């Protein structure tokens, strides 16, 4: 039987979340540190452990059918693959940074300067879109030390908290790209692999939805229910059960993680009591 080959990063910032995602999708596999490939026990997929830089090319050539990696790398490598789903982890940005004490008045700063980066394609695209002529110094790691050792005037590198730039005396001035982890796929999968992929993506979307939502239970006086239902639209409409205490009921619904605290304040103001909020393991809609 055909098996879908999934490439994930062997070791690095994406590995743990990639493993967790597969596990939460119910895909069970063993993972020795030295193996390059393993087969899932309960789903028709094989998992390849690779360097993230190689994943776009391997997916284009169908050494792997799909892969999990950062959008930054997908756009830098510019291979003929399709982005299938954003995964919401490994958030970061590709930014230009300059020595902290330099005055910065706009992108013209970079004219005739040397910029160190591991992202020459994305940087040169940005420079030409902004009519800047700069010299790109391509290096594969520790980009942030380049100005300090006299290799370049500025850097174009991945930033997340900003502390690496700070400790190297640099200041972020322009964000070129915002990135998160995504799934990419080969464009020519056969029907059997497409059908495995659809099942896999369905599971991923259920996992993502469950992460974005919480299950909420609360008690409220019957007369407050109308108001509370307006605050909690839920998946369809909330479940309402009578309590032993007359005039009171229990209400169950689903609330989005991102506006959760605001809703809680509104619920309390509307008369809700004994509010319980519970994580959702899977959410199938």
Binding site for Zn ion (CB under 5 A): 52-53
Rg of the chain in Å (alpha carbons): 24
Which of 18, 22, 67, 72 binds ligand PRT (CB under 6 A)? It is: 72
- CA dist 189 and 180 (Å) reads 24
Closer to ligand PRT by Cβ: residue 15 or 219: 15
Q: What single string gives the DSSP state of each residue in 85-118?
A: EE-S-S-EEEEEEEETTS---SGGGGTT-EEEES
* The only residue of 8, 66, 159, 207 in contact with ligand PRT, by rule CB under 6 A: 159
For residue 75, what are its two tokens?
Answer: 């756009």
79 binds, among Zn ion, ligand PRT, none (CB under 5 to 8 A by kind): none
Q: Take residue 239 and report the two structure tokens written for it.
A: 């479940």
Site track 6-45 with ligand PRT (rule: CB under 6 A), x = hit: ---x--xxx-------------------------------
Q: Which of residues 43 and 119 has its CB atom nearest to Zn ion in the complex? A: 119
- For residue 232, what are its two tokens? 């909690």
User: Smaller CB distance to ligand PRT: residue 42 or 161?
Assistant: 161
Q: Is 64 in the site for ligand PRT (CB under 6 A)?
A: no
- What's the closest the beta carbon of residue 5 comes to ligand PRT, in angstroms? 17
> Crossing angle for the helix pair 15-24 and 191-212, nearest 10 degrees?
100
Of the pair 66, 189, the CB lying nearest ligand PRT is at 66
Residue 14 contact partner, candidates Zn ion, ligand PRT, none, CB within 5 to 8 A by sort of partner: ligand PRT
Start-to-end CA distance of the chain, whole Å, equals 29
- Phi, psi (degrees; rounded to nearest 5) at 65: -85, -40
Q: Give me the 98-127 binding string for ligand PRT, x by CB under 6 A, dash otherwise.
A: ------------------------------
Q: What is the DSSP string of 184-239?
A: EE-TT--HHHHHHHHHHHHHHHHHHHHHHEEEEEEEEEGGGHHHHHHH---SSS-E
- The first and second tokens of residue 37, run together, are 């490939």
Our finding on whether 170 is near ligand PRT (CB under 6 A) is: no
Question: Of the two residues 24 and 53, which places its CB atom closer to Zn ion in the complex?
Answer: 53
**Where along the sequence are the contacts to ligand PRT (CB under 6 A)?**
9, 12-14, 51-53, 70, 72-73, 90, 92, 144, 157-164, 179
């Amino acid at each position: 039987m055909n098996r879908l080959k999934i490439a994930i990063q062997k070791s690095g910032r994406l590995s743990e979340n990639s493993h967790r995602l597969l596990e939460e999708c119910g895909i069970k596999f063993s993972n020795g540190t030295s193996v390059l490939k393993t087969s899932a026990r309960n789903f028709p997929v094989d998992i390849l452990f690779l360097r993230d830089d190689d994943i776009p090319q391997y997916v284009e050539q169908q050494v792997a059918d799909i892969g999990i990696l950062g959008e930054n790398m997908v756009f830098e490598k510019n291979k003929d693959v399709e982005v299938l789903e954003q995964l919401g982890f490994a958030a970061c940005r590709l930014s230009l940074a300059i020595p902290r004490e330099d005055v910065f008045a706009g992108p013209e700063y970079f004219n005739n300067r040397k910029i160190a980066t591991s992202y020459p394609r994305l940087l040169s695209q940005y420079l030409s879109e902004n009519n800047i002529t700069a010299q790109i110094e391509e290096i594969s790691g520790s980009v942030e030390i380049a100005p300090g050792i006299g290799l370049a005037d500025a850097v174009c590198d991945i930033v997340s908290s900003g502390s690496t730039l700070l400790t190297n005396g640099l200041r972020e001035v322009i964000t070129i790209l915002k990135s998160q982890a995504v799934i990419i796929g080969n464009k020519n999968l056969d029907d059997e692999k497409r059908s495995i992929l659809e099942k896999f993506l369905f599971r991923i979307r259920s996992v993502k939805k469950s992460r974005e939502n919480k299950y909420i239970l609360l008690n409220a006086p019957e007369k407050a229910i109308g108001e509370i239902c307006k605050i909690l639209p839920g998946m369809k409409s909330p479940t309402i059960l009578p309590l032993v205490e007359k005039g009171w009921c229990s209400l169950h619904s689903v609330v989005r993680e991102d506006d959760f605290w605001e809703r809680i304040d509104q619920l309390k103001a509307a008369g809700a009591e004994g509010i319980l909020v519970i994580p959702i393991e899977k959410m199938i809609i």
